[in-house]
Every structure is written in C-alpha cells, then in structure tokens.
C-alpha cells in the first residue's frame, strides 16, 4: 500500500482501486496495543474479542473513507459493566490508546471521574463543573466510574440530572472531540439506563467484564509479582492458590484488586521474616522470593477472616 | 486611528490582519496548549485600545489537552455576546513570567463606529488630545 492510507487525505480513490486491510492494520500500529492487551491482561476473553471487533470496525471504516463511503464518525461511546477489580479502568486506559492509534481521538488521554467531579453542591455549580471536566477530556476519553450515582431518582432536586443532560448533549454534538466510557456494576447500570433512555441510545458498545476464576487470579498474581521483580516459591504458589480459593468466598472480594492487596501484605511479611533472621547473609534469591509462610500467615487461613477486619476479641 | 482604515480596534496580536478563521484560532490555541499555558475567554463592549481589563467569560481553563474545549467556550461566548469584542488570552504560570503571554481578538461587533479626536484646552493655550469611542456614548450593553 502506498501513502494513500493517510486517513485525513481528502483524495477519493477510484471505485476499482485496491486497498489492503492488512497494510492498514500494520500502519495504524494498533496491533502492538492489542498484543500488549493480550499479554498483560489475563483472561477477559469476551472483552478482548469485543475490542478486536471494534478495532476491526474502525479499520474498515477508515478504508471506506478512502472511497468516500462514510461521512459520519461511528458512535464510540461505551459502557463497561462488571464487578470490582475486573479490569474496567485498566481496559478503558488501553481503549484510549487504541482509539488514538486508529485516529478516532486526537490526544489519547483518559480523564477518569466520578459523580463528585461532575455534580455540584448548589444551584449553578453543576454546569460549570461538568463542562470543565468535558473540556479536559476533549481529544481523549472521558471515563465515568459508577455512573449510576449521577442519577438519584429518590431526590427530584438532585443536580445529577443536570450533569446527565450536558453529557447527553456533548455525546451527540461533540462525537469527534471525545469518547465517553461509563462503568459500573451490571444490575445498577441496567437500572440507570432504564431511567435514562437517552444515555442508552447514545452508547454503541456494551461490554461485560466476567469475574476471574481462581486459575486466572493466580496467573494475574504471578504477572503482578514479575513486574515487581518478585516470585513465588513452588510452595508459596500452592499456598496462594489456596488463599484465593478461600478469599473468593469471603465478603468484599474484589477480583484482581484483592490479589494486588494480598501480594502487598505478603511482601510486608516477607520483609519482616528477612528482618527477623537478620544475622543470616541474604542472597538475591532470598530478596526476590515469597515463601509459603508469608502467605499462610494471613488471617484468611487462621480465622477465616479478612486481614483488614479488627482483631477478634476487640 | 487615522492610519487604521475602517475604524477597527487594534489590540493584542493579529489585530491588523483580517479576522481569524476558526481553524486559525484552533492552531493558535494548540500552540499555547503545547507551551502549557492556561487559556481563557474574555469579552467587552468598551473598545478603548488601552482598556486591558475585560470581563471573564467563565473560568480560566487549566490542564486542557485539546483545543476543541476552548473553541467551544469561544462559540458559547459568541452566542451570548454576538456583538461584543471577544478575545482569547493565554497565561503562563512559569515563575518569573506569571503573566499573559498571548491575547487576540476572535469576535468583533458588526459595525465598529471608530473614534473621535477630543481636544481639551488647558492653561497657556496648550491643548490635550485624547480619543473617544463613539460607541461608548451609549450605556454598557447597548453600545453595539
Ligand atoms: N486481567 C488482568 N490481568 C492483570 N491484571 C489485572 C487484570 N484485571 C485487573 N488487573 C489489575 O487489577 C487492578 C484493578 O483493576 P481495575 O482498577 O482496572 O479494576 P476496575 O474494574 O476498574 O475496578 P472498580 O470497579 O473497583 O473500579 C489493577 O491493578 C489491574 O492492573
Ligand atoms: Mg475502576
């Protein structure tokens, strides 16, 4: 393919001119991001498939543009649903990068907000606040976490509705300037869309993030450790798998985030253990290795309780 | 003003040039954002060339990445005050600079009546000259 694959070139190709999807794919550098997504995010099959589909759609759209077949930008606003720690924020960040590489957002940054950043405290406070956030997100992606908090039906004087109205307007009129991604738990998002049909109709892609299996969580744990130059001893790996199985049944389980927190605590215990035997000379392997005892010391094993719960008897 | 054909107020950058197009304004905003300056939109209907204190339209805009947000405010201001002077200013917060580094007009009244020369006789047959905008004879808000 020659240099006609420049998306903002205005020359229209002849009807019988050949275009090459493969070359367009290479030129967009989007492959790199998709591969990175595959490598660094464990599991999430349905999510990865949807993202590939969207990337394919945008790529084909770019080719169609070369024949002047489309004039309108496709709607790219998305909705991510799933339990805590299933990777919604992480994927949103990658999405910003993918859209940037494909030329659908100009800068590719992510502005992550919640209700407090959008909704004001008194009359006349909300509109400037929402608009300021929107202006910051222009050229990139606006990520609204737990979007259903914007809408509080029990309070008819709530300012959230005003914020939603401005968002709806921008999502329609400034489709070239920013992409909005909403995120939250599935059932509450469904309720939110039910009461805000305007929002639902402006969102083209609904992506559901499944919970991770224990195997996937162990995989994620190993990946997280590797990036921090730690690793499990074979026994520790077994212990951690057991830990995950137990932890999944307890309250406040937050998938990959719980794994991250458990690892942070294991590192703390490892440091303590090394310190207790300070007289012994330490090797590089000692400093890198998390042993089974660092994990088995968790109260999840001993009392069947979270480490963050208050001591029993208190 | 005699040298300024058509009574156009000249103040800030580019004011001797034809009006900037939106694409040109966007390019200027992009330049300012690239330097890390904060932009804001201001308006006035008091066209004296030395009136540097204009009204702010909304808040100054910090931490924006893309010109679209600022152009949106320019257009909001144009909608609210179609017949006022509107300018975009860029502020540099760099220590030791801490002042406006760019300023250019992005909207003008349809008709700019221009300025008259006022002579004031003072002691010793001396004369003081000043310029007076025909527009400011009317009260604020009704001038154009
Ligand atoms: N599939 C995965 N592979 C590797 N790490 C992951 C994966 N999913 C999530 N993580 C890690 O788990 C942590 C939490 O993920 P993230 O913040 O994206 O979750 P979330 O769905 O946004 O949660 P919440 O709903 O609570 O905001 C992050 O540190 C992220 O790097
Ligand atoms: Mg999140």
The whole-angstrom separation of Cα B127 and Cα A130 is: 55
Over residues B30-41, the mean pLDDT reads 96
pLDDT for A136 equals 95
State the smallest CA–CA distance between residue A135 and chain B in angstroms.
Answer: 4
What integer pLDDT is reported at residue B4 of this predicted model? 59
Cβ partners under 8 Å of residue A169, min gap 6: none
Contact (CB, 8 A) for A50 and A205: yes
d(CA B15, CA B105): 7
Give the pair of three-digit tokens for residue A32: 């790199």
Question: Which residue, among A192, A165, A166, A170, has the nearest Cα to A81 in the 3D structure?
Answer: A192
Q: Which residues, by Cβ under 5 Å, contact ligand 2, an ion? A: A 89
Predicted local confidence at residue A5, as pLDDT:
44
Task: Note the pLDDT of residue A2.
Answer: 42
Q: What is the mean pLDDT of chain B?
A: 92
Q: d(Cα A291, Cα A233) in Å, to the nearest integer? A: 6
CA distance B142 to chain A (A): 27
Report DSSP state, residue A305. Answer: S
Is A138 in contact with B63 (Cβ distance < 8 A)?
Answer: no
- pLDDT at position A57 is 86
Indicate whether residue A44 lines ligand 1 (CB < 6 A). yes
Q: Are strands B115-122 and A78-82 parallel, antiparallel or unpaired?
A: unpaired
pLDDT tens sequence across A2-13: 444 444 445 777
Better pLDDT: A68 or A160: A160
**Residue B49 pLDDT exceeds 90:** no
Higher-pLDDT residue of A310 and A65 is A65
Task: For A209-228, write each residue's pLDDT tens digit.
Answer: 999 999 999 999 999 999 99
pLDDT of residue A6: 44
pLDDT tens per residue across span A113-138 = 999 999 999 999 999 999 999 999 99
Specify the residue for token string 């156009």: B8
The reply to whether residue B66 touches residue A107, judged by beta carbons under 8 angstroms, is yes
Whether the per-residue pLDDT at B18 is higher than 70: the answer is yes
User: How confident is the model over A180-189, as a mean pLDDT?
Assistant: 94
> What is the model's pLDDT at position B6?
67
Cα(A189)–Cα(A147) distance, integer angstroms? 7
A99: tokens are 């859209």
How many whole angstroms separate alpha carbon A166 and alpha carbon A127? 7
The beta strands (E) that lie in B34-140 are given as 38-44, 55-61, 85-92, 99-107, 115-122, 126-133
* Range with the poorest average pLDDT among B30-34, B49-53, B64-68: B49-53
With a 6 Å cutoff on the Cβ, whether A222 touches ligand 1 is: no
* Domains of chain B, first to last: 22-110 (3.30.190.10)
Nearest to A243 by CA among A296, A305, A185, A188: A296
pLDDT of residue A3: 41
Residue A138 with chain B: CB contacts under 8 Å: 64-66, 68-69, 72
Structure ipTM over 0.85, yes or no: no
Residue B65 to residue A132, Cβ atoms within 8 A: no
């Amino acid at each position: 393919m020659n240099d006609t694959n420049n998306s903002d070139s205005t020359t229209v190709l002849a009807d019988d001119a050949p275009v090459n999807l493969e070359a367009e794919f290479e030129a967009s550098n989007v492959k790199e991001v998709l591969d990175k997504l595959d490598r660094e995010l464990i599991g999430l099959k349905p999510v990865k498939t949807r993202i590939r589909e969207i990337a394919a759609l945008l790529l084909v759209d770019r080719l169609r543009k070369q024949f002047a077949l489309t004039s309108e930008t496709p709607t790219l606003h998305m909705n991510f649903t799933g339990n805590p720690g299933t990777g919604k924020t992480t994927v949103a960040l990658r999405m910003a990068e993918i859209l940037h590489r494909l030329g659908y957002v100009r800068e590719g940054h992510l502005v992550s907000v919640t209700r407090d950043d959008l909704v004001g405290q008194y009359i006349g406070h909300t509109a400037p606040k929402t608009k300021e956030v929107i202006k910051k997100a222009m050229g990139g992606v606006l990520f609204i976490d737990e979007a259903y908090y914007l809408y509080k039906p029990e309070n008819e004087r709530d300012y959230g509705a005003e914020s939603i109205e401005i968002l709806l307007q921008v999502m329609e009129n400034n489709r070239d300037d920013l992409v909005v991604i909403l995120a939250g738990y599935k059932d509450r998002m469904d309720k939110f869309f039910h009461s805000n049909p305007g929002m639902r109709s402006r969102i083209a892609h609904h992506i559901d993030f499944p919970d991770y299996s224990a195997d996937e969580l162990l995989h994620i744990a190993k990946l997280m450790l590797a990036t921090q130059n730690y690793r499990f001893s074979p026994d520790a790996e077994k212990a951690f798998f057991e830990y995950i199985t137990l932890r999944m049944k307890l309250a406040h389980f937050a998938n990959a985030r719980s794994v991250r927190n458990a690892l942070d605590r294991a590192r703390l215990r490892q440091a303590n253990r090394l310190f207790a035997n300070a007289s012994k000379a330490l090797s590089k392997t000692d400093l890198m290795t998390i042993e089974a005892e660092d994990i088995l010391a968790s109260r999840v094993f001993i009392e069947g309780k979270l480490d963050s719960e208050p001591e029993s008897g208190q | 003003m005699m040298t300024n054909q058509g009574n156009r107020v000249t103040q800030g950058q580019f004011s001797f040039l034809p009006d900037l197009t939106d694409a040109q304004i966007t390019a200027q905003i992009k330049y300012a954002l690239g330097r890390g300056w904060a932009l804001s939109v201001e308006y006035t209907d008091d066209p004296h060339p030395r009136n540097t204190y204009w009204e702010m339209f909304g808040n100054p805009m910090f931490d924006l990445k893309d010109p679209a947000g600022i152009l949106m405010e320019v257009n909001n201001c144009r909608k609210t005050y179609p017949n006022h002077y509107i300018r975009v200013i860029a502020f540099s917060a760099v220590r030791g600079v801490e002042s406006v580094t760019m300023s250019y007009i992005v909207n003008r009244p349809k008709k700019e009546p221009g300025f008259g020369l006022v002579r004031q006789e003072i002691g010793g047959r001396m004369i003081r000259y000043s310029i007076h905008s025909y527009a400011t004879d009317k009260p604020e808000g009704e001038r154009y």
